Amino acid sequence: MNVARLFEALQNEIKRRPYLLRLEMLEQTPRLLKVRLHISPELFVQVYRNDQYDSTNLALVHNGRRIYGRDQLCGNWHRHAGIQPDSHDVSQEGQKSVDLDEFLNEIEAVLASSGLP
């Protein structure tokens, strides 16, 4: 996943998933992208990609706090999940590489189990 492909995927997902109310562009350069996909006023998905450092951060944020996420640095992934979303899950499942579609599918499950919109 690079910035150009991620930006294209974001455009597709915002059209495909009606619960994503709007895309807020926070920063964009040819090698860096940071956006928020708003679900409600206090709930959003933050997507960050930096091609120069080969890093990706995907997070579900509720009331200013990450409640779920997946991060990648230099090809290595870890997950932030469960009751301690600040800890790193480096289990086999936690290290699984995900694209935007897969991450959004995961957060749909998190939202449903949490009773969030």
State pLDDT tens for residues 50-106.
Answer: 999 999 999 999 999 999 999 999 889 999 987 676 777 777 887 899 999 999 999
What pLDDT does residue 23 have? 96
Strands (E) in 41-106, as ranges, are: 43-50, 55-62, 65-73, 76-80
User: What pTM was estimated for this model as a whole?
Assistant: 0.92
Work out the number of other CB atoms within 10 angstroms of the CB of residue 10.
20
What pLDDT does residue 35 have? 98
pLDDT for 45 beyond 80? yes
Residue 80 near residue 46, CB atoms below 8 Å:
no
What pLDDT does residue 33 have? 98
